[in-house]
Chains A and B, each alone.
Chain A
Amino acid sequence: MENLILQSFIWIGLVGLVIGISLAVAARYLAVKEDPRIGELTDLLPGANCGGCGFAGCADYAKAIIVDNADITLCAPGGSECADAIASYLGVASKSVEKMTAIVLCSGDDSNSKRRFDYNGISDCAAAQATAGGDKSCSWGCLGYGSCARVCPVNAISIINGLAKVDKELCIACGKCIAVCPRKLIKLVPASAVIHVLCSSKDKGPVVKKVCSTGCIGCRLCTKFGDEGAFIMDGFLAKRDYSVAVTKEEVIDKCPAKCILKD
């Protein structure tokens, strides 16, 4: 019996040893020749494999940088830290990367903006939009079925009371939510910006008021009371020009629809 156990140990051990040695030999002599810089560069990247850079994962982006001279500032999750690291590794000048974040430009949750019918079907925003134009009474606003939340690789989006909201701290600005939103409500903005116009409705004021209590009515007061150029009008919709900082925060109180909010 003892002999049997000892024998088993020895045999299994020998087999393991042989396989191990074969693997080591193969790793040495059958290794695929790859520029070692690609592997080292991949280690500098965050490793989220989110695809935000436009390549198929971090290793693919590293390869593109080495082989195709891709732009070193494409990694949104990595931000400036990563761009600097890549730059110093490659021995080139670094470019500044501003940390971006996604934001849902809508404040019409189920208390502010009513539904116009009771939608019963696939719980997906594109499907809801295809069913009689979506059940939100505002034809521009967030439908709240969570397609963006489901596609976010870092769970940065939550649906609260029928409205999607992005957590700035978690967002890696990969752009997946932007692509999936059927109403194109989500935009990439600088993470340093804190004042936003949370509305995307291009309807005239009276129309907006009927469907949402916090929708932009196009009164233009923000252009008057805000910093010069910080707020610009696109028809009946006010928009933020993020290249201009907002110092006059009283503009928030001046907005009659309360759609200018501070993060």
Chain B
Amino acid sequence: MKSENQPDLYMVSSSPHTHSGSSVERIMLDVLIALAPAFAASFYFFGLNAIRLTGTCVITCVVAEWLCRKAMKRTGSIGDLSAVVTGVLLAFNLPPSLPGWMAVAGSLFAITICKQLFGGLGYNVFNPALAARAFMLISFLVPMTKWSSSNWATSLASGAADAATGATPLGLIKEAVKAGDAIPHFGSETIMNLFTGNINGCIGETSALALLIGAAYLLFRKVITWHIPVAYIGTVFIYASILHIVSPATSVLPHIHLLSGGLLLGAFFMATDMVTSPITKRGMLIFGVGCGIITMVIRTVKTGDYPEGVSFAILLMNAVTPLINRGCRNRVFGTKS
């Protein structure tokens, strides 16, 4: 006897019929939660600028994605929260005094050109937030490298001039090397500032502490694995250590490199972007090492003008990812390696 509350039709599909419960939205939400400490830190140090920039980027990204999908006659995709994540990550890569319209331009570039024109989430080759940052660095070089002082900026090195000019630690090093001066000595107070975020820089990248808390959450939720961050940071550490051992006068201690620039933000949140990084563990390690080497080359090669190498390093490795994926396949069960 069939009971009345049976559905009219049973669902038929290919196996499996049960699921772990994961979803793209949940992954993106976890990333946003992991970025929350860094957002709190950015508000603490940079005040309303942080909110202004983050809000501008997020809103522009979401609206741009919605419009693109409509114009391209594809199903709406803003529900998967990836546009929000792109907006937040892009904002975190911007200096606090950046004019709003530049943030809008960058966000439009990130979503429209780097993401939707490739086909949407999953089809992009480059990390949209980083590609937009590169676009903005090239188009708006001066505003993108002008660091207005943070709320509680204190003197970084032996001279007090930097607090006013708003230079970052890496910037200071660059200037000193260019001028032929001895590199500034960073005392333990500076290290503490670098760690908590009490320095000049882009609004999301300054607080190592906040970023590490977020990274721990991502690892716990298994959104990222240790492979890329450890390979990236490890390579930077080893490279910087070798440099320092070889030429202590012109290179800082390795942990300065770890705590400066967007390294932690890049290693934990940008390089680990799933779509644009390799899919096997071996590939991830190679990717991390490559990012580390390129970052250090850009940061320390004397003729270059760029104090920061993380964005370009990751973008270059994004381009190599398909090749890494092809070369780093796993051994199939039952075959010789």
A and B touch in the complex (CB under 8 A): yes
Which residues of A are at the interface with B, using a C-beta cutoff of 8 A? 115-121, 131-132, 135
Judge if B335 is at the interface, Cβ distance under 8 Å. no
With a cutoff of 8 Å between Cβ atoms, the chain B residues found around residue A132 in the complex are 12
CA distance A59 to B146 in the complex (A): 60
With a cutoff of 8 Å between Cβ atoms, the chain A residues found around residue B14 in the complex are 121, 131
CA distance A120 to B11 in the complex (A): 7
With a cutoff of 8 Å between Cβ atoms, the chain B residues found around residue A115 in the complex are 9
| CB-based closest 10 A-B pairs | A120-B13, A117-B12, A118-B11, A118-B9, A121-B13, A117-B9, A132-B12, A117-B10, A120-B11, A121-B14
- Could you list 16 examples of A-B contacts with CB < 8 Å? A116-B9, A117-B9, A117-B11, A117-B12, A118-B10, A118-B11, A118-B12, A119-B11, A119-B12, A119-B13, A120-B12, A121-B13, A121-B14, A131-B14, A132-B12, A135-B12
Q: How large is the interface on B (under 10, 10 to 19, 20 to 34, 35 or more residues)?
A: under 10
With a cutoff of 8 Å between Cβ atoms, the chain A residues found around residue B9 in the complex are 115-118
Contacts A118-B9, A118-B11, A120-B11 known; 16 new A-B pairs at CB < 8 A: A115-B9, A116-B9, A117-B9, A117-B10, A117-B12, A118-B10, A119-B11, A119-B13, A120-B12, A121-B13, A121-B14, A131-B12, A131-B13, A131-B14, A132-B12, A135-B12
A118 to chain B, nearest CB (A): 4
CA distance A93 to B281 in the complex (A): 68
Q: Determine chain B's interface SS by DSSP, over half rule.
A: loop
With a cutoff of 8 Å between Cβ atoms, the chain B residues found around residue A119 in the complex are 11-13
B10 to chain A, nearest CB (A): 5
B172 to chain A, nearest CB (A): 37
Q: Determine chain A's interface SS by DSSP, over half rule.
A: loop
Q: Mark B1-37, 1 if CB is under 8 A from A, else 0.
A: 0000000011111100000000000000000000000
CA distance A135 to B8 in the complex (A): 13
Q: Mark B93-114, 1 if CB is under 8 A from A, else 0.
A: 0000000000000000000000
B12 to chain A, nearest CB (A): 4
Q: Specify the chain B residue showing the minimal Cβ separation from A122.
A: B14
CA distance A63 to B9 in the complex (A): 55
With a cutoff of 8 Å between Cβ atoms, the chain A residues found around residue B11 in the complex are 117-120
CA distance A120 to B15 in the complex (A): 11
With a cutoff of 8 Å between Cβ atoms, the chain B residues found around residue A120 in the complex are 11-13
With a cutoff of 8 Å between Cβ atoms, the chain B residues found around residue A121 in the complex are 13-14
CA distance A119 to B14 in the complex (A): 9
With a cutoff of 8 Å between Cβ atoms, the chain B residues found around residue A135 in the complex are 12
With a cutoff of 8 Å between Cβ atoms, the chain B residues found around residue A116 in the complex are 9
Q: Specify the chain A residue showing the minimal Cβ separation from B9.
A: A118
CA distance A129 to B213 in the complex (A): 50
CA distance A117 to B12 in the complex (A): 6
CA distance A120 to B9 in the complex (A): 12
Q: Specify the chain B residue showing the minimal Cβ separation from A128.
A: B12
CA distance A36 to B235 in the complex (A): 63
Give chain B interface residues in 36-74, CB to chain A under 8 Å.
none
B19 to chain A, nearest CB (A): 12
CA distance A191 to B9 in the complex (A): 40
CA distance A232 to B11 in the complex (A): 39
Q: Specify the chain B residue showing the minimal Cβ separation from A115.
A: B9
CA distance A135 to B13 in the complex (A): 10
Residue from B9, B10, B12, B14 with most neighbouring chain A CB atoms (10 Å) = B12
Q: Specify the chain A residue showing the minimal Cβ separation from B11.
A: A118
CA distance A118 to B14 in the complex (A): 12
CA distance A131 to B15 in the complex (A): 10
CA distance A117 to B6 in the complex (A): 13
Q: Specify the chain B residue showing the minimal Cβ separation from A119.
A: B12
Q: Specify the chain A residue showing the minimal Cβ separation from B10.
A: A117
CA distance A119 to B10 in the complex (A): 9
